[in-house]
Structure 1
Amino acid sequence: MFLSLCLAACGGGKDSASTTTTTTAPALVSISISPANPTIALGLTQQFTVTGSYADGSSAAITKDLVWSSPGAVASIVQTTGLATSKTLGTETITATSGKISNTTKLVVQGPYVAVTAGGSHSLVLKANGSVISSGLNRTGQLGNGTANDQSAMAAMGTVNTWAQIAAGEFHTVALRTDASLWSWGFNQNGQLGDASFVDKLNPTKIGTASWIAIAAGKSHTVGIKKDGTLWAWGRNFYAQLGDGTVIDRVEPVQIGIAKNWTSVAAGAGHTLARRADGTIWGWGSNLNGQVGTGPSTTVTTPTQIGTATWVSIAAGQNHSLAIRADGALFTWGANDQGQLGNGALSDRLNPSQIGTQTNWASISAGSKHSLAVKSDGSLWAWGANEDGQLGSGNNQTQLAPLQIGDTKNWKFISAGLFHTLAIRTDGSLWVWGRNSDGQLGDGKRVSLNTPTVLP
């Protein structure tokens, strides 16, 4: 008995049968591509990834045995990684295949431009990759490229690719980077650069250590709003355009009042406008033509509220002003000797006056003596002085009332300089027109244009 138990316990007798378990992976049912139908700017890349859905209801990222393809006319894609590189404007079909399962998505490639600013006779353009290109008059370094040489073609302004906002005055430029730092360059005769000196700068120079959310550049002064909502100004102050209650130039930013709810600013030749978070707008500075909008044509030395309406947008020209009310109505005031107010007359206005009855105005910009606006339907309108074709109407005739420019309805961003205009369409393309004697249109020529012309 002991022997038989030992044999059984110790492995004697017949071998026991072994069992093998085979696990079958669930079948792949479908795949999805992420991101779906993205849009990128020309010159940038897009990384695609794939997620698989399986018969057992599970899902997981697919990284192996995956093949990517595309026609390649608009963008090329790396077959093994899913990284697409833009080549030209348009739409590309991107296909991902895993075994016998495939799916597609669309990649839209737009123009690389996202913002423009037109100065006195110079221009700067912000690209989607955070870099800036510039052209035009540069004798005081306003192009920020390290030289004092004019240039007629758009060229890169250094190698920095972290720019977020740009604003051009007559001969100087200010900008914000993505870290909210403030930079300035160009003419500094009145301290408009804010670096505590009167020395011109050929390259962007950092101003202080504060964080900023908005900037505006006038003829020779600069205005900004810090992250805490406080308002600051510096530069020329002969007309009290800084709003600090004096007519003394400031070479460094000085706080204006104690309010902490400012949201946007606009600067003209000798006056300034600003908006608060409650929708009120305020003006100060030279008011000879009523451009401050507070009534009597006397200089206003500190921020003074303009009416009681609620506003969403402001713009300051040389000696005139524009604003859009919360209901989409357009108002103008100030100098009107070239019809820049758009009211069909040539007389100045001391207070905001509505232009027409339409309430579908979306954005505005004011130049020396011309004005631009985009309606909510994307159409472009212009009026005022036009001796250099700055209205884009195809001729050089002054317009006393808003005139639609072409029939295109995809305008997105506009900026009026002294005598030239820059604009961006919703497809990211850059358009220029007006005076070009200093190369401010950036097309490599010095011939003025009276119709919007696309730059490559």
Structure 2
Amino acid sequence: HTCALKTDGSMVCWGNNASGQIGDNSTTQRNVPTQVSGLTAGTVKEIAAGGYHTCALKTNGSVVCWGDNTWGQIGDNSTTQRNVPTQVSGLTAGTVKEIAAGDVHTCALKTNGSMVCWGYNTNGQIGDNTTTQRNIPTQVSGLTAGTVKEITAGVHTCVIKTDGSMMCWGRNDYGQIGDNTTTQRNIPTQVSGLTAGTVKEITAGFYHTCSLKTNGSTVCWGSNTNGQIGDNTTTQRNIPAQVSGLTAGTVKEVTAGGYHTCALKTDGSTVCWGKNTNGQIGDNTTTERWPPTQVSGLTVFLYYSLGAYTSIIKAVEVVTSFEIMSWMQTLPAGTSITMKVRSCDDSACSAAGTVDESLTKQWASISPATSGNDISGDGVTDGDGWIQYQAILNASADQTQTSSLDSITINYSSASGACYDLTPYLVPQYLDKIPEDPKNTNGQADTGYTIYKDTATKEIIIGAPMAENGEIIEARRK
């Protein structure tokens, strides 16, 4: 079965419903997305689907599950099948941060940084140093408050600890624990080589595991029958193995299916590898792929960066001369930045930051338009007590990276003979309309701008700057 968290915070599921895993209070197969009972708009934050059960982390921080409960995987202290979302024992409002569903067990990362699991435990996947089935959330051995950052589950269970190391436990017949053995582990066990500070993201398939490392590379281990490790072999790996081609700095996100794996690369393209009998690699074939293979149509993200950004009106000392203006920029091919400047006297500008446009000089482009040139005569007049600049970003074509502008400095001399460096804040002057894009685009600049697209007006909105250096970042993702 399949489930989706909608943008309005509601949840729908479809597919096999023999165990009530759709959650619509029936066992009727659903061939189209069907509303989960009670999980309407604004109620759901995160979802997880196991083999025949489903769970949701609600926006209030509580957890509900439904579907097959043969092994106690619903967590309501019973083994009764539930056809509608049912409260997990003890995981009430405000207690849970993240959830993960394995094949027949379930886990939760609590808001205090501890971890609990429940359900099937024959292979030790609960992690409580037993193989006893657990019908309610049970503390994982050693993973107490403040120790856990992220969780994932297959037929085994794994975590990223708060120190950036990785541990796994449970079934290990294919080496999916990654400790260079095939010995079942009933408590969290260190993954070979993935020590403190090395792990950013984790994901578990049925019998294999993968990690996105902090250096942007990807490693996988465990079953490799279908090439799901991605090292261009079908050899089982009992310790993390480098995925072919996905070396440092190349990967942004990784996720594992049952017998295949996919990665979103830093250039925006998507690659998959492993089992492909049903076309899950997405390369328009059903041929098994052992190394990462480009997904058809999901190529590099393209950006179209444009806009005009204007500094605040900045008061200066009594000026005898305006001199050098300098800045740092990163300009991909096909882009350019035009810098303009103007000054004004007290009759046109004020300490309140307002400008009387009828009295203020017109903007003048800096000529030549390169950093480190003298701006005297370019829209500025010696003796004026106020100055303002404008940066205009232009793009002739879509780009695979965005332009940036920072460290903007204006040098001037005062009547006292002192020299000064002025670094005004960048603030938006106006917002450029952009073509409609069905995907909301979010980005965060290093210097404090938050940029996102307002889906109603199709405009780029730029939040208030938090640092003196401005930066122009992504405007649109196609």
TM-score by length of 1: 0.61
Pairs within 5 Å for 1:155-166:
none
Please give the per-residue CA displacement for 1:12-67, whole angstroms capped at 9, x wherever unaligned: xxxxxxxxxxxxxxxxxxxxxxxxxxxxxxxxxxxxxxxxxxxxxxxxxxxxxxxx
User: Aligned residue for 1:135?
Assistant: none
The corresponding residue for 1:430 is 270
2:84 aligns with: 252
Partner Cα separation in structure 1 for residue 266 and residue 115 of structure 2: 29
Q: Which residue of 2 aligns with 1:376?
A: 214
AA matched with 1:424: L
Distance 2:148 2:212 in 1: 16
1:381-420 counterparts in 2 under 5 A? 381-406=219-244, 407-420=247-260
Corresponding residue of 1:352: 188
| Partner in structure 1 of residue 133 of structure 2 | 299
Identity of aligned residues (%): 38
CA distance in structure 1 between the aligned counterparts of 2:116 and 2:290, rounded to whole angstroms: 34
Per-residue deviation, 1:442: 2.0
Which consecutive unaligned segments of at least 5 residues does structure 2 have? 298-478
| Residue of structure 1 in register with 2:172 after alignment | 336
Q: Which residue of 1 aligns with 2:96?
A: 262
> Is the contact made by 1:216 and 1:267 (CA closer than 8 Å) also made in structure 2?
yes
- 1:144-159 to structure 2, matched below 5 A, reads none
Is 1:363 paired with 2:201? Answer: yes
Question: Where does 1:156-235 land on structure 2 (aligned, <5 Å)?
Answer: 172-207=1-36, 208=38, 209=40, 211-235=43-67
Instruction: Tell whether the 8 Å contact from 2:75 to 2:136 is kept in structure 1 after alignment.
Output: yes
Q: Deviations over 1:90-139 (max 9, x none)?
A: xxxxxxxxxxxxxxxxxxxxxxxxxxxxxxxxxxxxxxxxxxxxxxxxxx
Which residues in structure 2 correspond to 1:80-159 (within 5 Å)?
A: none
Amino acid paired to 1:402: P
Bigger strand share = 1
Q: Highest CA radius of gyration, 1 or 2?
A: 1
Alpha-carbon distance in structure 2 between the residues aligned to 1:198 and 1:442: 31
Structure number with the bigger relative contact order (C-alpha 8 A, sep ≥ 6) is: 1
Q: Deviations over 1:287-313 (max 9, x none)?
A: 001011111101011001113441011
Superposed displacement of residue 430, structure 1: 1.2
Alignment of 1:452 onto 2:298: no
| Match of residue 327 from structure 1 | 163
Partners of 2:60 and 2:158 lie apart in 1 by: 26
Q: Take 1:385 and 1:356, find their aligned partners in 2: how far apart are those partners?
A: 16
Aligned-residue RMSD, C-alpha: 1.2
Helix, strand or coil: the match of 2:72? coil
C-alpha change, 1:308 and 1:444, in structure 2 (3 Å) is closer
* Unpaired segments ≥5 residues, structure 1: 1-171
CA deviation digits over 1:385-425, x for unaligned, max 9?
A: 00100111101000000011132532122221111112211
Number of equivalences: 284
Q: Does the 8 Å CA contact 1:380/1:409 hold for their aligned counterparts?
A: no
Letter in 2 for 1:284: W
Q: Show the counterpart of 1:289.
A: 123
Per-residue deviation, 1:202: 1.4
In the superposition, the TM-score normalised over structure 2's length comes to 0.58
Is the Cα–Cα contact under 8 Å of residues 20 and 68 in structure 2 kept in the other structure? yes
Distance in 2 between residues matched to 1:304 and 1:196, nearest whole Å = 28
**Structure 2: how far apart are the matches of 1:174 and 1:405?**
29
| Contact 2:15–2:31 (8 Å) recurs in 1 | yes
TM-superposed deviation, 1:350:
0.2
Seen in structure 2, the aligned counterparts of structure 1 residues 308 and 373 have a Cα distance that, compared at 3 Å, is closer
